[in-house]
Amino acid sequence: LYGDLKMHVPFPFSLLCLQVIKCKAAVMWEANKPFSIEEVEVAPPKEHEVRVKIVATGICRSDDHVITGALVMPFPIILGHEAAGVVESVGQGVTAVKPGDKVIPLFVPQCGECQNCLSTKGNLCSKTNLDTSGGLMADGTTRFTCKGKAIHNFLGTSSFSEYTVLHESAVAKIDSAAPLEKVCLIGCGFSTGYGAALQTAKVEPGSTCAVFGLGGVGLSVIIGCKAAGASRIIAVDINSDKFAKAKELGATDCINPKDFNKPIHEVLTEMTAGGVDYSFEVIGRTDTMTAALASCQYNYGVSVVVGVPPAAQKITFDPMLLFTGRSWKGSVFGGWKSKDAVPKLVADYMKKKFVLDPLITHTLHFTKINEGFDLLRTGK
């Protein structure tokens, strides 16, 4: 299509990229309200930016945290950050992708120049706006307008829109044969959980693991623990309906804290004769973060915080939990350097090195997004 336009249109092809696109988007006008499907205007990409047609997007708990105020962002806003799509146009200076390329947006970009990108130890690029509430592009403006009002973006991605604009450091080109409705999960949930086990914790063969929270990310942690060769993977959730799927993906034990009269960390310590080698908190609650830490082996256990911490909350814990030798780590996007890792993860999926289908419980039309969030909140 783009080739034909280039041959037959009697003015420079680049001018076509300068048009504003009108499309549908799910706008969140204020906290604790339903999404409103609106017609929005999406400005063309500026220098080093890419405009993408979103084909598929996942619903993630982090999006819901913004709605409830647990993650503070400015309103009005277009949420969404776990997606896959096709490049529609590019701004000046973009060389990594071209129109027609299949891509996955990256809420953790990879600029390749900052201290964290250059380090072999880090992955949280300095261009990541995970801990800021600006909701704007690098130049301090937004590419979204609705009813004459500027609409903020979310984590530089805003995938709850039929078209979105991203910085080129926040786009990864992927295999053209990849099914976008499946690999969109690699944009957040799967990579976050899978990497927390393989990259952040570095789970070892024969080790014991406990996973707190069995949503899509928690299940992806289980996939990662199994891939690493863990001998025992204990799944923990207050919703026992999730246990069958956890076992299908590799959990050896499933326990519901409501079934016990003692703290869950004591239950896990008894089950494993001293505590697990690795624990993962994949919920985003301070009480389960400390419980996951306490469930680790007291001298060398490693606990990883994967769930987004709630805003304005602090953790109080006995420092002896760390003094005896436990390690407490955090993991954003599974510790992967996004631009490098995402194409490789997609390639691994295409080679059937892991599965994604069991993580997809429902497929809904975009206009049913409020129903999707209801399913999320009810644990379905």
Convert the pLDDT of each residue in 86-103 to its tens digit: 999 999 999 999 999 999
Q: Using alpha carbons, list the distances in angstroms from residue 37 to 18, 81, 216, 370.
A: 25, 17, 25, 10
Peptide bond into 76 cis (omega under 30): yes
- CATH number, position 360: 3.90.180.10
Name the maximum alpha-carbon separation found in the chain: 77
For position 199, what pLDDT does the model report? Answer: 97
Does residue 11 sit within a domain?
Answer: no
Does residue 175 sit within a domain?
Answer: yes
Higher pLDDT, 62 or 1: 62
Same domain, 28 and 172: yes
For position 27, what pLDDT does the model report? Answer: 98
Residue 12 has pLDDT above 70, yes or no: no
Query: What token pair was written down for 54?
Result: 């979103």
What sign does the CA torsion over 136, 217, 29, 50 have?
Answer: positive
Residue 15 has pLDDT above 70, yes or no: no
Same domain, 291 and 146: no
For position 131, what pLDDT does the model report? Answer: 58
Residue 13 has pLDDT above 90, yes or no: no
Q: Which structural domain range is residue 306 located in?
A: 201-330
Convert the pLDDT of each residue in 217-250 to its tens digit: 999 999 999 999 999 999 999 999 999 999 999 9
Does residue 3 sit within a domain?
Answer: no
Question: How many domains are contained in the chain?
Answer: 2
Q: Tell me what the mean pLDDT of segment 125-148 comes to.
A: 86
> Any idea which residues carry the catalytic annotation?
60, 62, 65, 81, 188
For position 8, what pLDDT does the model report? Answer: 41
Higher pLDDT, 129 or 324: 324
- Please state whether the predicted TM-score (pTM) of the whole model is above 0.85: yes
Does residue 320 sit within a domain?
Answer: yes
Domain boundary among 330, 347, 365: 330
Same domain, 50 and 112: yes
Same domain, 279 and 138: no
Same domain, 30 and 159: yes
Does residue 87 sit within a domain?
Answer: yes
Q: Using alpha carbons, list the distances in angstroms from residue 300 to 202, 296, 323.
A: 13, 8, 11
C-alpha–C-alpha distance, residues 281 and 221, integer Å: 10
Same domain, 263 and 158: no
Q: DSSP assignment, residue 54? A: E
Stretch among 35-39, 137-141, 299-303 having the lowest mean pLDDT? 137-141
Same domain, 275 and 313: yes
- In percent, how much of the chain has pLDDT > 70? 94
Average per-residue pLDDT for the chain: 93
For position 71, what pLDDT does the model report? Answer: 85
Higher pLDDT, 261 or 70: 261
Residue 17 has pLDDT above 80, yes or no: no
Same domain, 165 and 184: yes
Same domain, 246 and 274: yes
Convert the pLDDT of each residue in 71-84 to its tens digit: 889 999 999 999 99
- CATH number, position 264: 3.40.50.720
Convert the pLDDT of each residue in 30-80 to its tens digit: 999 999 999 999 999 999 999 999 999 999 989 999 999 888 899 999 999
Confidence of residue 133 (pLDDT cuts 50, 70, 90): low
Same domain, 164 and 37: yes
Confidence of residue 313 (pLDDT cuts 50, 70, 90): confident
Does residue 134 sit within a domain?
Answer: yes
What are the φ and ψ backbone dihedral angles of 195, each rounded to 5 degrees? -70, -30
